[in-house]
Amino acid sequence: MKGGNPIQFYLIAFLVVLVDQVCKILVRIHIEIDASFSLWGIPMTHIENSGMAGGLLQGNARLFGIVAVEFIVAVIYYRRNGLIQGKWFELGFAFLVGGAAGNGIDRILFGEVTDFIIRSGNGVLNMADHAIEIGALLLILGALHQLLNKARALFAS
């Protein structure tokens, strides 16, 4: 395998899916839809979203589930072929794959995604959504790290 540490990559992705799915199961079992509550001072409400982020394109969850599977397959393919390199990119894509898988499972099995964490001005999210945000941030940091390394090499020569 040409990519970085496969154990770390798959462990992070697996842990993201595990945490996401356990939280969603607990919310589905214990909290009625549209019921609001607070956990450790964090406002929450249980909603089911059959669309995408922000509730857009309602009724297309299974289509987005297929897109999530395609994304995961593409990342694994690129990773195995050495096209994802560097710790920032490895970590970022691990979080993205875990988040895509977590929400993809909901979309394919239930036709909707369980959301429950209220974020001021940004709607209601879940743990998979936060993992996707972390992954995106790590990719940005990786790109900045590469840019700084190239700038240092340019000025050093």
Task: Indicate which residues carry an active-site annotation.
Answer: 115, 129
| Two tokens, residue 131 | 């993992």
Query: What is the full DSSP assignment across 6-62?
Result: HHHHHHHHHHHHHHHHHHHHHHHHHS-TT-EEEETTEEEEEEEESSSGGG-STT-HH
Neighbouring residues of 50: CB distance < 8 A, sequence distance ≥ 6: 58, 59, 60, 61, 111, 112, 113
| Two tokens, residue 49 | 């979203």
Distance between CA 60 and CA 150 in Å, rounded?
Answer: 42
Q: Which residues pair with 38 in a beta bridge?
A: 43
| Two tokens, residue 70 | 């395609």
Distance between CA 50 and CA 32 in Å, rounded?
Answer: 17
